[in-house]
Structure 1
Amino acid sequence: MSQHPVQPFEAVAPRLVDIAAGRAPADLVVRNGRWVNVHSGEILANTDVAVAAGRFAYCGPDAGYTVGPKTVVVEADGRYLVPGLCDAHMHVESGMVTVTEFCRAVIPHGTTSMFVDPHEIANVLGLAGVRLMHDEALAQPVNVWVQMPSCVPSAPGLEEAGASLGPADVAEAMTWPGIIGLGEVMNFPGVAANDPVMAGAIAATRRSGKTVGGHYASPDLGRAFHAYVAGGPEDDHEGTRMEDAAARVRQGMKAMLRLGSAWYDVAEQIRAVTEMRLDPRHFILCTDDCHSGTLVRDGHMNRVVRHAIAQGLPPVTAIQMATLNTAEHFGLQREVGSITPGRRADFLLVSNLSDLSIDAVFARGERLAEDGRLVIDMPAHAYPPEAKATVRLGRRLEAADFAVDAPAGAGEGVTARVIGVVENQAPTRALVRTLRVSDGLVQPDREQDVCHIALVERHRASGAVVNGFVSGFGYRARCAMASTVAHDSHHMLVVGTDREEMARAANRLGAVGGGVVFMQDGEERALIEMPIAGLMSEERAEVVAEKADRLIAAMREAGCQLNNAYMQHSLLALVVIPALRISDRGIVDSERFEVVDLFV
């Protein structure tokens, strides 16, 4: 971990002044770089920067006068000096690893600031779980700020999570040192209806002077949208269309454009800047959800910035959207987001700006990574026993638990509601399919690409199972996948073509304490153990990435060709995003926010 935690500006300001005035030497000087100035939008050649106490003291044409006998001098040799990248909205748990392991994975990719919403662990362990991740975040060598989860459960009345949080919990968390604001307010109908719990959480955040995160997952830009904005959320990452981004910015919100492992929402929305010519300073880039395989191999915020540049944004503009814009949104522009005096010395040495080729990563004035590899030691973080053993099934599950009884008088076929997966997007479709009845049971249909889906209650050992149908995975084999990552209430979610395989997968996860498992033809083809709240592994990110590769390979071998199908699987219980979902209460119409019958 960092040997030099960043000190408050006021504690080191006199030293920064002395260095800039030539009365004291710097700790670090970087010479002859091309300064990517996100304030002015310029790239300034032949620039030096001087650093002391983890902060920038001088940025200009010649810092030679700040070099003393003990000053470390780094030659930029004409490479770009880029501010450390910021991820404005993300969930560590989606990486399947702890905060420490997530940081180990993303630091070499240039991420030096993250704004994390731990609402996944909150749905399992409540406020205690948030505190565990908050405290781990404070120990990192980069900046990890935490947004207090706002909706636990995400939709009261439509699901029951492992915990429940209210305005009093929000008010308490606002006093913690690492809390930066309120996490995405997903209960958008509640905000629009002046629900007292939602209004109370937002009010507690505003009283603390912190930022309220948004989540308006509806294409309706009419009265419901305007009521939601009036309720206080200040940003939104759920847009998928150009008009979504424009509408948010016009209402004073920040449009957060996400590129995660399975969400590809930047290209369409960035047209609000490249075609509509809206002010780019009100657009922010983020990832939302990235699994470990993406982090280890493809990158993190550098991947998002690269993608934005490929859509036609000037490189400096794309970098602004991942640095200064983010910092200003959270009121941290005096701390991070730019290479300017007084700010934390978080910066990158980049040899090619368009593809963001990162040669070295510095945070708080320390070199953390070089040529894509960490150069510091980051010991693993241990979670206490109470954060584990959270998968409580109550009994051994059987194939009969996953059977769907046909309604009376069904005959040889029934018309059923089917959840339709949409590749690379979080929303689903509400499909209707005619399914065959055999021996009184409704059967899945491989020809129509319809599988069984089941949600197994895992917080209270009730043994309850809710069954339905899903389309879009393309499975052709006798298989099943079970996961205790099932946003947001994180019960166990099982999808399969065969009930025996579904029972086998569910029981396997119960035995290992959670994670993801894929079964085919009676054999375990892939397993990622996640004993921490059933959401995170205790292993290194590289190990988890290798296991994730085996999972994806097993899914493909069984016929699934979806991009990052695991993440599509994990969202099938997310009742706050349209159109059709499954919860412990039944099949949920997420446009009307009500439980509906499985059969039409």
Structure 2
Amino acid sequence: MNSAPILSWADCAARLVAVAAGRAAADLVIRGGTLVNVQSRELLPGWQVAVAEGRFAYVGPDASHCIGPRTRIVDATGQFLIPGLCDGHMHIESGMLTPAEFAAAVIPHGTTTIFHDPHEIANVLGLLGVRMMHDEALLQPINIFTQMPSCAPSAPGLETTGYEIGPDDVAEAMRWPGIIGLGEMMNYPGVINGSQQMLEEIAATMRAGKTVGGHYASPDRGIAFHAYVAGGPSDDHEGTRESDAIDRVRQGMRSMLRLGSAWYDIESQITAITEKGLDPRNFILCTDDCHSGTLVHDGHMNRAVRHAIACGCDPLIALQMATINTATHFGLERELGSIAPGRRADVILTSDLRDLPIEAVFARGIQVAEGGRLTATCPHYDWPKEVRATVRLGRAKTADDFAIAAPSGAARVTARVIGVVENQAPTRALTADLAVTGGRVEAQDDVAQIALVERHQATGQVVNAFVSGFGYTGRMALASTVAHDSHHMIIVGTDRDQMALAANRLAQIGGGATLWRDGEELALVPMPIAGLMSDRPAREVADKAQALVAAMADCGCTLNNAYMQHSLLALVVIPELRISDKGLIDVTQFAVTDLFVPGH
């Protein structure tokens, strides 16, 4: 059963008042439990709630006067009533799922509100792709608000995207009903240096009275940081240290602490609250990027809350960081994020505030999950054929496309190498002494080849470099058309023939991820929608994703959630070293750098 589009508070105030006063019957009453009040940070045993028109009408010690012959009564004895959980910053595409299937995956985990930035599809399909994500989001039985992507490309001049987003696109999107603000402003050098385009996008958002998302990935807390904050971003999720969180909130930003599939940044920053005693209302929990395997098997925002508690955070504070803090940040504290009169009736029943088992979920007053099982329908958008034909290589690839020519006459070279850092977004800028055979530089030991294959305009371009940290052995290659943020094709391999096989396979199926070894395909995750998402059920996609992870491990990889690390190797706005269609990118300098170290 789906909830109908919810009426505004103003449009149903008369009925809410009548129910609260006992003159009309509620649609739903939940009684017998202990209410978690995130407004006052209290546990209120015996408090009851009455729901009408998808909103809380009465919240208090006794809702018996709200009950009529048709009122559904839910007995919550032995359970806590907590607000539905909110994800303050995330990318639906990272789940390999469409908004409908993402909602279906996270609802049983207690997520009832999502603030998503579809900048992945924006890089492939432009404003049209954003609109499709926005429209499917509005069909769902939970609240999915869209942040208009700000940076496609994320770093102008350092990458080429399928489409570009500009101020006119932002101004247009601000008029759409589900747009809540501007997505993470990743082009922080542009803001710092007064880029007219970036500042116009921010201005268009501010004129609409909406929130500007932040992304400051530099460790520099000097003048550059202060210039970025002055530009208007009001939150940031790129912190990895306690000092990162403290510096942000001191400047009036909300510090977003993330726990995604591969980002474990809560533990290192939560001490700003638990040890330094900073005001927790300026902190928000988010996931940023979660793939389908994590969603199905481990959870979503309930996982982040549990983790924060395990790291020493008071359970009520952790819940505030995943509910009312998030709603307040986006100007929606009178609409959601707490169990209080007039708010959307998004509520979870759980028997334990630390382990947080999600026993029942209500969204807008309708039960949408019970005992980990989805009880609602999540409608799909009718995705057109053209979004399933976005992988354009120009011609089939061969092993020669992945050969790296050595400088003339060299027997060995010193090459720059992208160093993967487990469980973090940043990489390290490394070097390696590599052998030359027949004029070609060869990967060796833990140094594998990485290639970026242009897939938007069919130019046939291939950029080759080196990466370490995956631990691959044997003759293998992993290719993916999920390659944040430009989403060309990224291939990591130890053998050029396998790299060609993997590239051609993804061109054949319209995108996704595939792993090859010794001429055999070991795993495949088809993602035909923009080469980023599947429209298959979450559990089916999760099974394929888990098979991919297992195949990566079988090829020697021991990293946690290594596919997520793979997909970020082209993210040219997070230090230190990345790859793009322009070449190897030194993100500390925001400049193209040579593959080989001069003079070595």
Instruction: Give the deviation of 1:539 after TM superposition.
Output: 1.0
**Residue in 2 that maps onto 1:541:** 538
Instruction: Indicate yes or no: 2:569 matched with 1:572.
Output: yes
Aligned to 1:502: 499
Counterparts of 2:535 and 2:259, CA distance in 1: 26
Task: Give the superposition deviation at 1:105.
Answer: 0.2
Secondary structure of 1:151's partner? coil
- 1:71 aligns to 2:32 (yes or no): no
Aligned to 2:60: 60
CA–CA distance in structure 1, aligned partners of residues 567 and 584 of structure 2? 16
Q: CA deviation at 1:381?
A: 3.9
Who is 1:36 aligned against? 36
How big is each residue's C-alpha offset from its partner over 1:511-546, in whole Å with a ceiling of 9 and x where there is no partner?
A: 000000000111000000111000001211111000
SS at the partner of 2:408? coil
Distance 2:379 2:183 in 1: 28
Match of 1:415 in 2: 414
Q: CA deviation at 1:22?
A: 1.1
Alpha-carbon displacement from aligned partner over 1:140-183 (angstroms, at most 9, x marks no partner) = 00000000000010000000000001111100000000000000
Equivalent position of 1:226 in the other structure = 226
Match of 2:147 in 1: 147
TM-score, reference length from structure 1: 0.99
Cα distance per residue 1:480-516 (max 9 Å; x no partner): 0000000000000000000000000000000000000
AA aligned to 2:85 is L
CA deviations 1:410-438 (Å, max 9, x no partner) are: 1x210000000000000000001110000
Superposed, 1:514-533 pairs within 5 Å as 514-533=511-530
Question: Residue 452 of structure 1: which of 444, 449, 452 is its match?
Answer: 449
Instruction: Trace 1:270-309 onto structure 2 (pairs within 5 A).
Output: 270-309=270-309
Matched residues in 2 for 1:154 and 1:495: separation? 22
> What is the distance in 1 between the residues matched to 2:400 and 2:388?
29
1:439 counterpart residue number = 438
Name the CA distance, whole Å, in 1 between partners of 2:366 and 2:206: 35
User: Distance between the aligned counterparts of 1:239 and 1:245, measured in 2?
Assistant: 6
1:63-93 CA-to-partner distances (Å, cap 9, x unmatched) read 0111001000000113100000000000000
Alignment-mate amino acid for residue 432 of structure 1: T
Q: What are the Cα deviations for residues 429-465 of structure 1, in whole angstroms up to 9, with x where unaligned? A: 000111000000000012xx00000000000000000
Alignment match, 2:458: 461
Q: Distance in 2 between matches of 1:243 and 1:578?
A: 18
Residue 115 of structure 1 is matched in structure 2 by: 115
State yes or no: 1:587 paired with 2:554: no
Alpha-carbon distance, 1:379 to partner:
4.5
Superposition pairs of residues 390-409 of structure 1, within 5 angstroms? 390-409=390-409
2 CA distance for matches of 1:389 and 1:126?
15
TM-score, scaled relative to structure 2 = 0.99
Distance in 2, matches of 1:526 and 1:434, equals: 32
Equivalent position amino acid for 1:15 in 2: R
1:45–1:78 contact (8 Å) kept in structure 2:
no
Residue of structure 2 in register with 1:322 after alignment: 322
CA distance in 2, matches of 1:596, 1:4: 54
Q: Unmatched 5+ residue regions in structure 1?
A: none
Q: Deviations over 1:464-483 (max 9, x none)?
A: 00000000000012100000
Secondary structure, aligned partner of 1:126: helix
Output the CA distance in 2 between the equivalents of 1:598 and 1:261: 30
Q: Secondary structure at the match of 2:108?
A: helix
Aligned partners of 1:306, 1:80: CA distance in 2, in Å? 15
- Residue 491 of structure 1, aligned match among 485, 488, 502: 488
Deviates more, 1:381-390 or 1:41-50: 381-390
Partner residue of 1:215? Answer: 215
Report the secondary structure of 2:65's partner residue.
helix
Amino acid at match of 2:539: E
Which residue does the alignment assign to 1:550?
547
2:156 aligns to what?
156
Q: Is the 8 A contact 1:46 1:78 kept in 2?
A: no
**Correspondence for 1:372:** 372
Q: Give the alignment of 1:98-137 within 5 angstroms.
A: 98-137=98-137
Give the structure 1 partner of residue 596 of structure 2.
Answer: 599
Offset, 1:382: 3.3
SS class of match (2:422): coil
Shift of 1:5: 1.8
SS of the residue corresponding to residue 350 of structure 2 reads strand
- Structure 1 residue aligned with 2:182: 182
Residue 2 (structure 1) aligned with residue 2 (structure 2): yes
> 1:78, 1:570 → 2: CA distance?
44
**Aligned residue number for residue 425 of structure 2:** 426
CA distance, structure 1, for counterparts of residue 351 and residue 67 of structure 2:
25
Who is 2:479 aligned against? 482
Q: Distance in 2 between matches of 1:3 and 1:147?
A: 23
In structure 2, the gaps of 5 or more residues are none
For residue 562 of structure 1, what is the aligned residue in structure 2? Answer: 559
Q: Report the residue type matching 1:385 in the other structure.
A: K
Query: How far off is 1:380 after superposition?
Result: 4.2
Give CA deviations for 1:69-123 in whole Å, capped at 9, x if unaligned. 1000000113100000000000000000100000000000000000000000000
Q: What's the CA shift for 1:388? A: 1.4
Corresponding residue pairs, total: 597
Specify the code of the residue in structure 2 equivalent to 1:130: V
C-alpha contact 2:419 2:427 (8 A) present in aligned 1: yes
1:337 counterpart residue number? 337
Aligned counterpart, 1:48: 48
Measured in 1, the distance between the counterparts of 2:144 and 2:380 equals 16
SS of the equivalent of 2:455 reads: coil
Work out the CA distance in 1 between the residues paired with 2:152 and 2:377.
35
8 Å CA contact retained: 2:141, 2:376: no
Letter in 2 for 1:433: A
CA distance in 1, matches of 2:350, 2:209: 36
- CA positional deviation for 1:32: 1.6
Preserved CA contact (<8 Å) 2:136 2:380:
no
**1:532-590 deviations in whole A, cap 9, x for unaligned?**
00000121111100001110010000000000000000000000000000000000000
RMSD of aligned alpha carbons = 0.7
Select between 420-429 and 27-36 the one with higher mean Cα deviation. Answer: 27-36
Runs of 4+ aligned residues of structure 1 deviating over 4 Å after TM superposition are none
Separation of aligned partners in 2, 1:27 and 1:362: 13
Corresponding residue of 1:18: 18
Amino acid at match of 2:374: L
User: SS of 2:546's equivalent?
Assistant: helix
CA–CA distance in 2 between the matches of 1:345 and 1:109? Answer: 17
Q: Deviations over 1:2-21 (max 9, x none)?
A: 24221111110011001111
Match for 2:586: what amino acid? Answer: D
Task: Tell me the distance in 1 between the aligned counterparts of 2:165 and 2:314.
Answer: 42
Deviation at 1:375, TM superposition (A): 1.4
Please state whether the residue corresponding to 1:266 is helix, strand or coil: coil
Which segment drifts farther, 565-574 or 380-389? Answer: 380-389
Q: SS of the residue aligned with 2:256?
A: strand
Q: What amino acid does structure 2 have at the position aligned with 1:407?
A: P
1-structure distance, mates of 2:375, 2:392: 41
> Per-residue deviation at 1:408?
1.7
